[in-house]
Structure 1
Amino acid sequence: MIRFDVDPFVPDGEQARRWAEQELQNPRYAEAKPTWFDYLAEDVADFIASLFSNDTGAQAGNTALIIVTVVIVAALITVLILWGKPRMSRRVRRHSTELLGERDDRTAAQLRADAERSAKSGDWDAATVLRFRALARGLLERDIIDPAPGATAQAIAREAARVFNAHHVAVTAAAGAFDDVRYLRHPASEESYLALAATDDLLASQHPTALQTATPSEAVPA
């Protein structure tokens, strides 16, 4: 006998339990479970709320002072993290041995001396490569540029030209001389080396802040 008072689509108690267990095994419920941070945030919120309850009203003055102090310290730590990290990154790059695609821990002065020795022996190719490395290392040592890791000679020249905008043509030509020898295998000459060395000496002798007031006609072209 068929009972019409029973909905065939409504499970009984045992079937409903099995369906519920199967549904709760779905990974999305595990992902939605509160994390330790959620519990911590909830505890902190409850603690702050309790500070302003009637039971602790007499201690509100001291508690408010503590809260303000904690907020100020947290803000200072946040500022230190956000402001100090880039400065640390800059120091790491300045002293990095990676320079123009090669590991080289020589200072700018050492690179210039090695370039001069190569020039005296007539090895203009080696002298050119070394002298542009000296130019780049010198700008790094003075915190004038902060190139990304693996920056090319042209990228370094563009960054330097933004500061030494009156000499962007000479800086770009120096990077071109480096690329000609290093990558295009075009032989350098005494003339091209001396021009690069003169650019390096010029940048090394000038303070960048004195060049930021250059006229618009001297600005780096887009």
Structure 2
Amino acid sequence: MVRSLTAQAAPLLTVPIDIDRGTASSEAAQELLKPEYAGETLIDRVMRGVNQFVGDLLDQESVGVVGSVAARIVLVAIVVAAAVALTMVARRTTRSGAARREGVFGDGRRTAAEHRDAAERLAAREQWAEAIRERLRAVARDLEDRVIVDSTPGRTAGELAAEAGRALPGFAADLATAARVFDDVTYGEAPGTAASYGILRDLDERLRTARPALASRAAS
């Protein structure tokens, strides 16, 4: 009788459930088909995938001691890479926002001649990036003063090239190139060069005599 009561009072043992990786992957795929995942953003999916990957790496029972050390090294590398990627995205976003805010001219207003003089002084000191910016501003101000393009505050170099290219189709390709050079040295942190400045200076000189009706002849 005592033995029977003891047997009845003995605690129940929980039997662990062992699920192989194939079954786990299948169940995870079925889980992702649920409606709550339908509106998930790409970033959320990537982060969930990274979390799943990291969780698998840190599974002590599957990787062992040596594997655990390697997993931690991989985890550190992932974290560092993610931090670098986020920093680059933040810097690009900041530069893009600055480009939209400042446009071609930034603060203040000067004449085309003043921008040209400033560009030549900077070029003489081999400050090519600054010279390139001033030369494109000379181009933009000259086109505005001659009413070839509208005077639009905050206009970007690309917008200037597109509008001027429609009015002067013979110069459209050169204007687009000049806009790219300006953006590269201003927002893309590319170094300015004498050759790049020469592109802007040559375009400025040719545009000074261009007229919308004679654009193709002037370009040639």
- How does the TM-score come out when normalised to structure 2? 0.50
